[in-house]
Amino acid sequence: MVTDRGQAYTLEAIIAAVLLVSSLVFALQVTAVTPLSASTSNQHIENQQRASASGVLTAAQEAGVLKDAVLFWDDTEAEFYDAERVTFYTNSYPPNDFGDITQRAFDGRGLAVNVVVHPGNADPVEMVYRGEPSDNAVSASRTVTIYKDDELTAPGISTTAENADTYEDVIPPDSDGNSVYNVVRVEVTVWRM
């Protein structure tokens, strides 16, 4: 006895395949893929940026210029030496060795960089500020110990951290009775513009 069951199964399979393909096409059209969408390539880029930020801090610390950058304070102007706005740099990097290392690492790569000093007992202080970081920003940080007798490193300034008139406004003393002035954390945040 011959039946039409085979034809019904075939027709059912074709309809199911059309429904599956249609739902896949619809799902792909609804999903927006942008350059900032999460993907393994974006994660790779973020890892590279984090490694670059960490490398800048490591190179600066090993060269002894990270601490000099924190002490690059112009006590007479109450700002980081030669800063363009308020007390921090916005369009350039500090005119010192730390600024040179940072510029070589990030300039011309379409990246924005913030450098923030976090004193142990006070609000964070911007050294370089290029704007509000995006959701894809990465950061790295290093700790720096400032001693009371450390000299400020801005040109033409010859005073110590403890004796400076305005340095305590940006990085206040945090210890009493010993030679440590403050322990700060320098953080570099990087993101794609």
Q: Are 69 and 99 in contact (CB under 8 A)?
A: yes
Helix intervals (H) in the chain: 5-30, 40-62, 65-70, 97-106, 167-170
Total count of domains within the chain: 1
Q: Kindly state whether residue 154 falls inside one of the protein's structural domains.
A: yes
Q: Kindly state whether residue 1 falls inside one of the protein's structural domains.
A: no
**For residue 153, is pLDDT > 90?**
yes
Q: Quote the pLDDT of residue 33.
A: 60
Q: How confident is the model at residue 36 (pLDDT cuts 50, 70, 90)?
A: low
**For residue 3, is pLDDT > 80?**
no
**pLDDT tens column, 100-110:** 999 999 888 88
C-alpha count within 13 angstroms, C-beta hemisphere, residue 34 = 4
Secondary structure (3-state) at 68: helix
**For residue 32, is pLDDT > 70?**
no
Task: Quote the CA–CA distance of 28 and 34 in Å, as a whole number.
Answer: 13
Q: Are 110 and 193 in contact (CB under 8 A)?
A: yes
**pLDDT tens column, 45-69:** 787 888 888 899 999 999 999 999 9
Q: Which domain holds residue 128?
A: 38-192
**For residue 5, is pLDDT > 80?**
no
Q: How confident is the model at residue 28 (pLDDT cuts 50, 70, 90)?
A: confident
DSSP state at residue 179: S
| Residue with the two structure tokens 């911007």 | 126
Residue 111 class from Cβ within 10 Å (0-12 exposed, 13-18 middle, 19+ buried)? middle
The backbone torsions φ and ψ at residue 99, rounded to the nearest 5 degrees and listed phi first, read -60, -40
Q: Kindly state whether residue 127 falls inside one of the protein's structural domains.
A: yes
Q: Kindly state whether residue 72 falls inside one of the protein's structural domains.
A: yes
Q: Quote the pLDDT of residue 91.
A: 86
Q: Kindly state whether residue 12 falls inside one of the protein's structural domains.
A: no
Q: Quote the pLDDT of residue 2.
A: 54
Q: Quote the pLDDT of residue 124.
A: 93
Sign, CA dihedral 154-158-164-165, equals negative
Task: Quote the CA–CA distance of 62 and 49 in Å, as a whole number.
Answer: 20
Q: How confident is the model at residue 119 (pLDDT cuts 50, 70, 90)?
A: very high
Task: Quote the CA–CA distance of 15 and 157 in Å, as a whole number.
Answer: 82
Task: Quote the CA–CA distance of 171 and 108 in Å, as a whole number.
Answer: 31
Instruction: Write down the pTM of the prediction.
Output: 0.76
Q: Kindly state whether residue 54 falls inside one of the protein's structural domains.
A: yes
